[in-house]
Amino acid sequence: MAAHRSGAATPEQTVARSFARIRARGDAAIFISLREEAEAVAEARALAGKADLPLYGVPVAVKDNIDAAGMPTTAACPAFAYKPGRDSTAVARLRAAGAIVIGKTNLDQFATGLVGVRSPYGIPKNTIKEELVPGGSSSGSAVAVAAGLVPLALGTDTAGSGRVPAGLNNIVGLKPSLGLVSTYGVVPACRTLDCVSVFALTVDAAWAALTAMAGPDVSDPYSRSRLLGAPGAMPSTKLGVPRPGQRLFFGDRAFEAAYNAALDRLAKLGYAIVEIDIEPFYETARLLYDGPWVAERTIAAGSLLASDPEAIHPVTREIILSGLRPTAIDAFRAFYKLEELRRVADVTFRDVDALVLPTAPTAYTVQQVLLDPIQLNSRLGSYTNFVNLLDMCGLALPAAFTDAGIPFGITLLAPGGQDARLAGIGRVFYADTKLKLGALNEPQPPLA
């Protein structure tokens, strides 16, 4: 991020513009709570003389399962709400870099879902086609960025929540390596798999936010000391793709064609496309909800589940209750199986540098998901659910629009610690996509 430029909007002007755009948007389901505008503008004004900060005056929205001092954390469940005494580490580091928190965004309750419809605070409207789901669980954060209300937003990602909403709203979603960004002050979904994600309009903007937040944190036992590096050119990069017979689109020929076109573009950009056996990755994905990891979600909401189960969204409650079923024996069997699958994944990455997959296999309307909430949600996670179990990093990118005007995106995936490699590839592909499609989203309010 560049420092404030002469003639550019001041931080307080930029923050005020965010609030004006939120009012003009008129979608009450995007934010669960907003700061007082005067307070946020005053904080921006106090940055005077600090234009060298990397996120100088940049407005940021925060998913409402991440603590931000002065605002309640609800996890989209009013009965669960509490007011934190301090910022989460991720938010504290963004503030230290000059960012201004605008408000807390809506989500699938307890970050359980990929659809964005499981919240008592409403359903944020998809920015491309209102009848489509916005994607979840980080629905409000993705929509806030895609609608031009803020240039950056934080989400979380356990099973795809930082990638699917990005794909469905035609923006960038960065899912860092596990432990790279502290999860201190984040309401757990699956604590061993959770990470803080970033939504942005460009790869460079997402990378700037990641750079500000990354680093070990003694407050988080799952924090890791991982070198971040810097994005750069990656010559002779091999990208793994599923064999044609293993590609899942659930009958969506438009998404299938868009994926093939994206692969053709990558090949023309100089990347080698290598077909791989993706079945072990699908098998890993099935462990997430069919295996014992769902019990971690039960732990996170356990007290409320015991005291007031009716306060939990019915679909979310059904999923959380299923976490009571696995036994310790089931858990150890799943751990053994996961280690086997991790070795298979390691072998795959001897032959390729990264994977390139559809972010989602198709897109559904709100009405379709409300009628079939579990199965359709599960389908949206076909290419995302295995990623954190295998300790991989990911970068979701806009790629195309179908003839029906539905956004299609791809996601780059690599072993943990290779975030910079993905950003380097992502920059190249994003620039090519922008040439093909023109302006991807209105880049306002600008990053100072």
Supply the DSSP symbol for 417: T
Which one from 63, 104, 125, 175 is the annotated catalytic residue?
63
C-alpha to C-alpha distance for 67 and 87, rounded to whole angstroms: 5
Residues in Cβ contact with 252 at an 8 Å cutoff, skipping those fewer than 6 apart: 361, 362, 363
Strand 196-200 and strand 272-276: the pairing is unpaired
* Active-site position among 18, 88, 141, 161: 161
Best CA proximity match to 219, nearest among 169, 251, 181, 258:
181
- CA pair distance 185, 188, nearest whole angstrom: 9
Whether residue 161 lies in the annotated active site = yes
CA-CA distance, 390 to 178, in Å (whole number)?
Answer: 10
Residue pair 128/85 in contact by the 8 Å Cβ criterion = no
Cα–Cα distance measured from residue 350 to residue 338, given in angstroms and rounded to the nearest whole number: 19
> Which of 119, 137, 138, 382 is the catalytic position?
137
CB 145 within 8 A of CB 221: no
- The angle subtended at Cα 268 by Cα 358 and Cα 390, nearest 5°, is 35
Active-site residue 137, yes or no?
Answer: yes
Q: What span, in angstroms and rounded, lies between the C-alpha atoms of 67 and 75?
A: 10
What gap in Å lies between CA 75 and CA 58, rounded to an integer?
24
Establish whether 138 is a catalytic residue: no
* Cα distance from N-terminal residue to C-terminal residue, the chain: 8
User: What sign does the CA torsion over 186, 187, 191, 194 have?
Assistant: negative
Is residue 137 within 8 A of residue 107, CB to CB? The reply is yes
Active site (catalytic) residues = 63, 137, 161
